Amino acid sequence: MSKPTSCTLIICIYNQAPQLCRVLETIATQSVTDFDIVIADDGSSDNAEAVINDYRTNHPAASLTHLWHEDEGFYKTIILNKAFKAASGDYLIVIDGDMLLHHRFIENHLRYAQKDRVLCGFRGVKLGKEITRQLVAGERQLNQNLLILLWQTLRGKVEEGTRGIVIHNQWLRSIIARRSKRLAGCNFSTYRENLFAVNGMDETILIYGFEDFELGHRLTLSGVKISDVTRLCNTYHLHHLKRSSGDIGDIKQNILNSPAMQCKYGLETLASGSTIDDFTPAS
């Protein structure tokens, strides 16, 4: 089975400069180094650019592109499409800007890549408030030692510490790990051509909560299966207040009822395709 020949890591951020600094630290220690980075910045007004420039200075061999547009609201779908177009890799890994990476994160995404799959690793280990504060402030370094993670879990310092375990045995993972069939935009990967086949993100979705779910549905319609890679492509999620997505149960059901494989307004503007009006009630 052929494997990806090139890879792009896409990081989606919004006013997360201190968190991005910590994320980039874990990117610099990856077990593989042959990938480029695209930062999809949904209108940050903090010092994210300074953090990015510092990384470029300290890692001159790194290929890093910073995409930014004006802050006009939740335009994540639009900035991600720009990132998909700018990415040079034939395989794309997408993460949120509050996800610290296991040192074999990219290696394992590439190891399990398949043409007809989108790999979804979800949020992984949930770092508590105090550990997050110390990490973001630069007062401590992320420790990926499993025994320490388990001890911190017992002490209530982190949640889901066992998600730091990397389990390659498929049978064992099927017993221990979750088996979700939805797409979570905080940690997923697939071949670039799969995203282009469905016309990328739906740019009419400017509401938080289901933009990734909708993309996953169209990928599934195109024949791409969602594979849960929890405890393979592991992350450590920095704590933050939970953002409410409201009551979107009906919207998600409407998405599942949609037969459209492509969105109308995405990487390109098509003659037909789905839009947010197909899923939300008329106002």
| Structural domain that includes position 204 | 7-127+166-273
- Does 279 reside within a domain? no
- Does 134 reside within a domain? no
Give the single-character DSSP code of 27.
H
Residue 152 Ramachandran class (φ > 0 left, ψ -120 to 50 alpha, else beta): alpha
- Does 149 reside within a domain? no
Confidence band, pLDDT 50/70/90 cuts, at residue 244: low
249 pLDDT more than 80? no
| Total of domains in the chain | 1
- Does 256 reside within a domain? yes
For the stretch 46-81, pLDDT in tens is: 999 999 999 999 999 999 999 999 999 999 999 999
- Does 161 reside within a domain? no
- Does 145 reside within a domain? no
Q: Report the pLDDT averaged over residues 204-210.
A: 93
Q: Report the pLDDT averaged over residues 240-265.
A: 85
- Does 82 reside within a domain? yes
Q: Report the pLDDT averaged over residues 29-47.
A: 96
- Does 137 reside within a domain? no
Percent of the chain with pLDDT over 90: 84
Q: Report the pLDDT averaged over residues 180-197.
A: 94
CA-to-CA separations, 275 to 8, 29, 52, 110, 215, in angstroms, rounded: 28, 40, 34, 32, 12
Q: In what order do the strands lie in the sheet with 64-68?
A: 64-68, 36-41, 7-13, 91-96, 187-191, 117-120, 225-228
Q: So what's the pLDDT on residue 173? A: 84
Q: Measure the CA–CA gap between 93 and 106, rounded to whole angstroms.
A: 8
Q: So what's the pLDDT on residue 115? A: 96
Identify the bridge partners of residue 193 per DSSP, sorted by sequence position.
Answer: none
Helical H segments across the chain, by residue range? 17-28, 48-58, 76-86, 105-111, 129-137, 146-154, 170-176, 192-197, 211-221, 249-256
Contact indicator for 84, 92 with CB cutoff of 8 Å: yes
Q: So what's the pLDDT on residue 248? A: 77
Q: What CATH number is given to the structural domain containing 22?
A: 3.90.550.10
Q: So what's the pLDDT on residue 195? A: 98
For the stretch 130-167, pLDDT in tens is: 999 999 999 999 999 989 999 999 999 999 898 999 99
Q: Report the pLDDT averaged over residues 251-279.
A: 96
